[in-house]
Amino acid sequence: MLLGILSGKEDFTDALLEEINGRNIAGLTAELCRIGPTIHHQPSRYRVILDRISHWIEYYRAYLKNAALTGTYVINNPFWFSADDKFFNYSLAAEIGVAVPRTVCLPSQCYDEEVTDEDLRNLDLPLRWEEITQFVGFPAILKPYNGYGWRDVYKVNTMDELLLAYEESAEQVMVLQEYIDFEHYVRAFVVGRQHVLPIKYDPFERSYIIDHRHLSDELGLRVVEDCLKLNHALGYDFNTVELAIRDGIPYAIDFMNPVPECKPEVITPEYFQWVVDRLASVMIDFALEGATIPCTLGSAPRPRPHAHNPVSPHPLQPLPRS
């Protein structure tokens, strides 16, 4: 039984391959995927694939969709990965009872020269900025509705700053969002929709802080429950969730990160090893239990979590070896 990893050069996937193969499970091997031309409806040779790069290499996404259709379990689901966006995620979070900032999706500021006024006749223009900002308030965050890596993110304090930032956004679809003046910030790794590691995080310095007791038991359990709710609803098996905590309420800020950065010098060696151990176990479990994903948007059948891996707000315990 073959497990595959689809990635560029990174220490994380090298460590993951070493961890999986080091467990010496009879009949199971992991390797970097080797992919040539893909014949339609031809099954992949891999039982499970971890996808770390198809958002950059378009051909890989085509391969992964065909592989998923023919029985391979892909982390993360390539059908949902292709369709997801941050604004939908905020609506979904509100639907399932997770707190989110007040958010408005805005049409693009400008369009390609081939787009005519007639093409835009369904838009209610000009935008009623006073109504929008009364709902969201200042300060606010303006950011792409499907962006990654804090690119093109603006904090705006006045109407003039907002209009200037919106002008610079050009053809991008943007969301305007209430700024949560937080007293605590968490970035949580979620693996297999079973394991949650809530880490104290500085979003301004983009740095992880080792502190195993940074959340009270009550708040820690709510953070863990919200992370699990979101990832079950989205169908992500490997993701991070960012939460800004204000007045004891965790607001979900960003939870569309299905290719989270996993450099040991960034997430710290201790948390790096936690992620490697849990993801290796999840990939092995999916392979041995014959997990499959549907080829439509929705929740996949899930293997049962192991009783010896309980979810905890302070989950840095040794992982039992297979």
Task: Give the pLDDT band of residue 146 (cuts 50, 70, 90).
Answer: confident
For the beta sheet containing 238-246, the strands, ordered from the edge strand earlier in sequence to the opposite edge, are 207-209, 195-202, 184-191, 238-246, 249-254
Q: Is the pLDDT of residue 229 over 70?
A: yes
23: exposed, middle or buried (Cβ count in 10 Å: 0-12, 13-18, 19+): middle
User: pTM score, two decimals?
Assistant: 0.89
Task: Give the pLDDT band of residue 303 (cuts 50, 70, 90).
Answer: very low
Q: Is the pLDDT of residue 287 over 70?
A: yes
Task: Give the pLDDT band of residue 149 (cuts 50, 70, 90).
Answer: low
Provide, rounded to the nearest whole percent, the portion of the chain with pLDDT above 70. Answer: 90
Spell out the residues 6+ positions from residue 145 whose beta carbon is closer than 8 angstroms to its own. Answer: 85, 86, 87, 105, 172, 173, 174, 175
Radius of gyration of the chain from its Cα atoms, rounded to whole angstroms? 21
More confident residue, 294 or 71: 71
Of 243-247, 295-299, 318-322, the one with minimum mean pLDDT is: 318-322
Q: Is the pLDDT of residue 99 over 60?
A: yes
**Residue 318: its pLDDT value, please?**
37
More confident residue, 152 or 96: 96
**Residue 321: its pLDDT value, please?**
37
Give the C-alpha distances (Å, rounded to integers) separating 272 from 146, 155, 264, 278, 303: 26, 31, 5, 10, 24
Q: Is the pLDDT of residue 299 over 50?
A: no
Six-digit token pair at 31? 């390797």
Spell out the residues 6+ positions from residue 161 whose beta carbon is closer than 8 angstroms to its own. Answer: 154
Task: Give the pLDDT band of residue 307 (cuts 50, 70, 90).
Answer: very low
Q: Is the pLDDT of residue 317 over 70?
A: no
What is the spatial distance between Cα 87 and Cα 146, in angstroms, rounded to a whole number?
8
Nearest to 243 by CA among 194, 175, 197: 197
Q: Is the pLDDT of residue 312 over 60?
A: no
Q: Is the pLDDT of residue 272 over 90?
A: yes
